[in-house]
Amino acid sequence: MVTSIVVVGVGGQGVMTLARWIGRAALAAGYDVKIAEVHGLSQRGGSVEVHVRFGERVYGPVVSEADADYVAALEALEALRAFKYIKEGGVLVVNKRIIQIPGRYVDPEQVYAALSSYARTRFIPAFDIAVKLGDPIYENSVIFGFMARMLGLDGYVDWLDARNLKAFEEGRKLASS
Amino acid sequence: MRHLLLGNEAIAYGALSAGVAVAAGYPGTPSSEIIETLEEYKDRFVEWATNEKTAVEMAYGAALAGARALAAMKHVGLNVAADPLHSAAYTGVVGGFLIVTADDPNMWSSQNEQDSRWYGLQSYIPVLEPSEPQEAFKMAKEGLLLSESLEHPVMLRSVTRLSHVRAPVDVEPPAPPKFGKFSRNMEKYVLVPQNARARRADLLKKWERIADIAARFISVEGDGPVTVVTSGVGYLYAVEAVERLRVKATIIKASMSVPLPRKILDLIRGDAVVVEEGDPVVETQLRILGVRTRGKLDGFFPRMGELSLRSVIEGVSKALNLGVKLPEPPRPPLQPPPRPPYFCPGCPHMGTFYALKLAAAGHNVVWSGDIGCYTLGINTGQQDLATHMGSSVGLGMGIAVADKEKLVIATIGDSTFYHAALPQLVDLKTKRIPMVVVIMDNEYTAMTGGQPSPSKLIPAEKLAEAVGLKHYAMDPADLKKSIEVAKKAIADAKSGEPVVVVSRRPCILEAYRTARRSGVRPPKYYVVADKCKACGICYNVLRCYAITRLPDGKAWIDPSLCNGCSMCAQVCPYDAIKTEDPERARKWLELWSRA
């Protein structure tokens, strides 16, 4: 059995780091892992998409449409863009944050309402939690905590540094409740 | 110990464990991390070359002198290096010589989708094609040693889905670097016609021998009635697709995909389904060997883009008439607007393009563009073309002589300028082509992650000076002065003179890193809502990514994105954009200019 996760967000949000953390926890848990940086022009501000697959033996590095067990989005517009990856019954985890696109303002409430129409959407106030912890930079750690708990990998993060671990715990608590 | 390594890192470690002593490359996605990884090893000669040709020459020369050498680049870089590449097969080498190319199917970061394996067939150089990072490690090592034992260059072909995939890899420690001693061999190395003819005859014989060796690189899994021939990452998708479709298959993996050995015929029963990333290179060779194939040539698998598990399942299903239908991808409940890449907030190129746009108003301009961050000038309509490294000056000259009505403004970054536009600079002078060449010098190869650029050591204005071209200096963070400079340069070009503008300010991301290290916090700018008249100059003309147009047309600056460049405050006609601490803002501009 292979678990397929699509991690998306906007350049500068730490999408790649989040994907690597998930991969590292899976490796520590004894799984085979592949992490594919699918999209990102190595620029800040563009859409970034990284695929993580783990299991006993992982062959293909990329997650196909309608084949992801989880989509983890650090930004809500990117969650919409990655919607095509969710397989039947798959879970959509969304950081409650919108990074507007120049000249293309969208109403956040409309975006959140649209995402809520999918039954298995989980909103995480990761941005707000991270700001409370002192820096928006920790929003990916909050999502990591949530995802790690959902994936049963939360026991394999002893390598995470203290400050990220604090944010991680906040996310993990949300998944446990 | 198993590490999660990128395919590119695995290639570098493989070469290290084979004792590579000389490595050269030019940055290009998805290949850059190979040289970046090797750079850490100071007991060898590792360099970022000025372009791929000089990189291949460096490694080739070292290998002629008996050293173990590697050259790394992206697929289009191999075009630049094609001349020495072909000669390397004729002369052969003494030390191992591995040429690593990373292809980019689907053109995630490239202008085309070419398949480097054709170069193997064209130049008589065998091509190894690993499928995942662990194998990339192994084949980089084997490839270098094989090259040395054959006294012949070997290519290792990667693709985006190997170079930029991270997976567990067992690495062996680096072996000591093997440098060499050059021995004369005029008959081999001086390719005058009489020598070259003898080399050609020898090469053809050698190619037969290599085709026999290629048989050693074939592996077989399963023994079902359906034959699937694969190479590279195609193998991974094929295994998974066959498993999901519950097809009983024999999967043949050709890890040396050029040349394909005749012996492969012994393993194929009936028609062969062929799964490979890129062009039908394995499939074409199989056809030449007389195999009936079902691959890309007849449209079972898509001819463009990357393979995916989905396209391979559908392709295998079509090829075997299984009639499998995969579930349709779910539609998003709301279509998000596209998020194209923009200049980073505060990018010096943003200022240069703004100044050029205002200075060129009223002129009939052809914006002759190039490959790099500044191709994003497309967002403000300031790139009429961008086709290859050096296209801005090269094609710009052609346009200028063909259509004298137009004013050609060529925009080129520093690294691309040194890579591909030095001969053009000479042409510009000797043929006296009236046009403006703007060298946008941010002192880094920024697009690929901030590798060094020669510009700090050899400033572009010194080269313009040496060639005898009129030149101006520009600081793109000072918009008013930049517009004046641009106007002067345009007037020169209109009066028939070629002119160079060097617009210099370091990449703001690099400056930001420097600032963080020295404990400086760049300032943030904000919009005074009462003063903003919703004119849109900041978000429409300057087009800073950090500035959003609110529903009432007024501007809002996202403080988490603002890099404190001050350009928006300079363009605002209503003085509605402010910063908390002007003194800190001034200090930041100063630090940034020295990053």
CATH number for B571:
3.30.70.20
Asked if B339's CB is within 8 angstroms of A101's CB, the reply is yes
User: Tens of pLDDT along B66-119?
Assistant: 999 999 999 999 999 999 999 999 999 999 999 999 999 999 999 999 999 999
> Is residue A103 within 8 Å of A126, Cβ to Cβ?
no
Asked if B337's CB is within 8 angstroms of A77's CB, the reply is yes
Residue B412 and residue B283 share a domain: no
Task: Please check whether residue B513 lies inside any domain of the structure.
Answer: no
- CA of A51: which chain B residue's CA is closest? B165
Shortest CB distance from B326 goes to which of A46, A66, A105?
A66
Geometric angle at alpha carbon B462, from B457 and B465, rounded to 5° = 170
- CA of B553: which chain A residue's CA is closest? A103
Check which CATH number belongs to the domain holding B180 and give it. 3.40.50.970
- CA of B314: which chain A residue's CA is closest? A64
Q: Indicate the pairing of strand B165-170 with strand B2-6.
A: antiparallel
Residue B223 and residue B179 share a domain: no
Shortest CB distance from A66 goes to which of B329, B332, B448?
B329
Nearest to B85 by CA among B257, B73, B16, B417: B73
Asked if A77's CB is within 8 angstroms of B373's CB, the reply is no
Asked if A27's CB is within 8 angstroms of B168's CB, the reply is yes
With beta carbons under 8 A apart, name residues in chain A contacting B329. 65-66, 84-85
The secondary structure of residue B564, as a DSSP letter, is -
Q: By residue range, what is the domain housing residue B315?
A: 217-319
The confidence score (pLDDT) of residue B260 equals 97
The confidence score (pLDDT) of residue B1 equals 58
- CA of B105: which chain A residue's CA is closest? A38
Region A132-145 average pLDDT: 95
Distance (Å, whole) CA B426 – CA A154: 62
Task: Please check whether residue B446 lies inside any domain of the structure.
Answer: yes
Task: Please check whether residue B205 lies inside any domain of the structure.
Answer: no
Geometric angle at alpha carbon A98, from A102 and B517, rounded to 5° = 80
Domain count of the fold of chain B = 4
| Phi and psi at residue B364, to the nearest 5° | -90, 90
Paired with B154 in beta bridges are: B98
Region B24-48 average pLDDT: 97
The confidence score (pLDDT) of residue B448 equals 87
Residue B39 and residue B67 share a domain: yes
Region A31-56 average pLDDT: 87
For A121, the 3-state DSSP assignment is: strand
For residue B506, how far is the Cα from the chain centroid? Answer: 21
For residue A44, pLDDT over 70 is answered with no
The confidence score (pLDDT) of residue B447 equals 86
Asked if A59's CB is within 8 angstroms of B109's CB, the reply is no
Task: Please check whether residue B199 lies inside any domain of the structure.
Answer: no
Task: Please check whether residue B559 lies inside any domain of the structure.
Answer: yes
Residue B82 and residue B183 share a domain: yes
With beta carbons under 8 A apart, name residues in chain A contacting B309. 60, 62-64, 67
> Is residue B445 within 8 Å of B415, Cβ to Cβ?
yes
Residue B65 and residue B177 share a domain: yes
Asked if B561's CB is within 8 angstroms of A45's CB, the reply is yes
Q: Is B591 exposed, middle or buried (0-12, 13-18, 19+ CB in 10 A)?
A: middle
User: Tens of pLDDT along B89-101?
Assistant: 999 999 999 999 9
Stated as kind and residue range, the H or E segment containing A145 is: helix A139-151
| Half-sphere exposure at residue A124, Cβ-oriented, CA atoms within 13 angstroms | 36
Residue B6 and residue B122 share a domain: yes
The secondary structure of residue B537, as a DSSP letter, is I
Residues in chain A: 177
User: Tens of pLDDT along A47-80?
Assistant: 999 999 999 999 999 999 999 999 999 999 999 9
User: Tens of pLDDT along B190-247?
Assistant: 999 999 999 999 999 999 999 999 999 999 999 999 999 999 999 999 999 999 999 9
Distance (Å, whole) CA B567 – CA B571: 6
Distance (Å, whole) CA A6 – CA A62: 9
- How many CB pairs (< 8 A) connect A and B? 158
Identify the residue among B309, B538, B539 best suited for mutation to test binding to A, counting A beta carbons within 10 A and taking the highest.
B309
Residue B239 and residue B113 share a domain: no
Residue A101 gets the label, from left (phi > 0), alpha (psi -120 to 50) or beta, of: beta
Residue B255 and residue B114 share a domain: no
> Is residue B263 within 8 Å of B287, Cβ to Cβ?
no
Residue B499 and residue B540 share a domain: no
Residue position matching structure tokens 């130049």: B123
Residue B271 and residue B157 share a domain: no
Stated as kind and residue range, the H or E segment containing A172 is: helix A162-176
User: Tens of pLDDT along B255-296?
Assistant: 999 999 999 999 999 999 999 999 999 999 999 999 999 999
| Phi and psi at residue B285, to the nearest 5° | -65, -40
Q: Which long-range contacts (CB under 8 A, 24 or more apart) does B298-305 make?
A: B300/B273, B301/B275, B304/B105, B304/B106, B304/B113, B305/B105, B305/B106
With beta carbons under 8 A apart, name residues in chain A contacting B415. none
What is the least distance, in Å, from the CA of A121 to any CA of chain B? 12
Reported confidence tier of residue A103, pLDDT bands at 50, 70, 90: confident
For residue A42, pLDDT over 60 is answered with no
Residue ranges with strand state E in B336-406 = 365-368
Tabulate helix, strand, coil % of chain B (nearest 5): 40, 20, 40
Residue B173 and residue B276 share a domain: no
Residue position matching structure tokens 């700090």: B456
Name, in order, each residue with C-beta under 8 angstroms of B34's C-beta and a sequence gap of 6 or more: B8, B9, B11, B12, B23, B25, B70, B72, B100, B102, B163
The secondary structure of residue B190, as a DSSP letter, is -
ipTM (interface predicted TM): 0.95
Residue position matching structure tokens 């953390």: A21
Task: Please check whether residue B196 lies inside any domain of the structure.
Answer: no
Distance (Å, whole) CA B255 – CA B139: 9
Share of chain A above pLDDT 90, in %: 86
For residue B154, pLDDT over 90 is answered with yes
Which superfamily, per CATH, for A2-176?
Pyruvate-ferredoxin oxidoreductase, PFOR, domain III (3.40.920.10)
Task: Please check whether residue B335 lies inside any domain of the structure.
Answer: no
What is the least distance, in Å, from the CA of A18 to any CA of chain B? 13
With beta carbons under 8 A apart, name residues in chain A contacting B558. 99-100
Residue ranges with strand state E in B15-68 = 22-25, 45-48
Return the structure tokens found at B311.
């396209």
Asked if A83's CB is within 8 angstroms of B333's CB, the reply is yes
For residue A95, pLDDT over 90 is answered with yes
Mean predicted lDDT score pLDDT of chain B: 96
Paired with B228 in beta bridges are: B251, B273
Task: Please check whether residue B396 lies inside any domain of the structure.
Answer: yes
Distance (Å, whole) CA A10 – CA B330: 22
In 10 A of CB B194, how many CB atoms?
9
